[in-house]
Structure 1
């Protein structure tokens, strides 16, 4: 098991209540929910940083061209019924 540490943070009362309510709805402890939320957000920040760094200096047209080249390799086939989008009557 990884070594754990205690971290005390100050949050606004409203945020604390939201955290407590969400943890309760999820059926987990406040600690479990907080660890999940921190981990998820850190992962998203790291991914965002990676893609910004990867895409820096690249032209949108080059990116889209590469995307189109990859999509041309995908076999054309009918979409399964369970994977179809429902059409709106609007």
Structure 2
């Protein structure tokens, strides 16, 4: 079972960053703690995703990646491009 115990983390941030955090947390209508938790969680998720894909891409060569992409694209049915989606 995952540990749900809350922990305290004290960090020092530049005044400008603190002001920006206060501004955006107020705009979102949440506490500074809630906003910081969201921002940390979001950024960590992005870092973990980037690390995962970097590892996957290191294990394959460019031709293998492009061949896989082309194979997937071939499965998509060919349809007429709607007028609203055509280049002007």
TM score, norm. by length of structure 1: 0.82
Inter-CA distance 68–9: structure 2 relative to 1 (3 Å threshold): same
Match of 1:41 among 40, 43, 57: 43
**Alpha-carbon deviation of 1:72?**
0.6
Q: Please report the RMSD computed on the Cα atoms of aligned residues, expressed in angstroms.
A: 2.2
Q: Which runs of 5+ in 1 are unaligned?
A: none
User: What's the counterpart of residue 70 of structure 2?
Assistant: 68
What is the total number of aligned residue pairs between the two structures? 86
**Alpha-carbon deviation of 1:79?**
5.7
Inter-CA distance 35–72: structure 2 relative to 1 (3 Å threshold): same
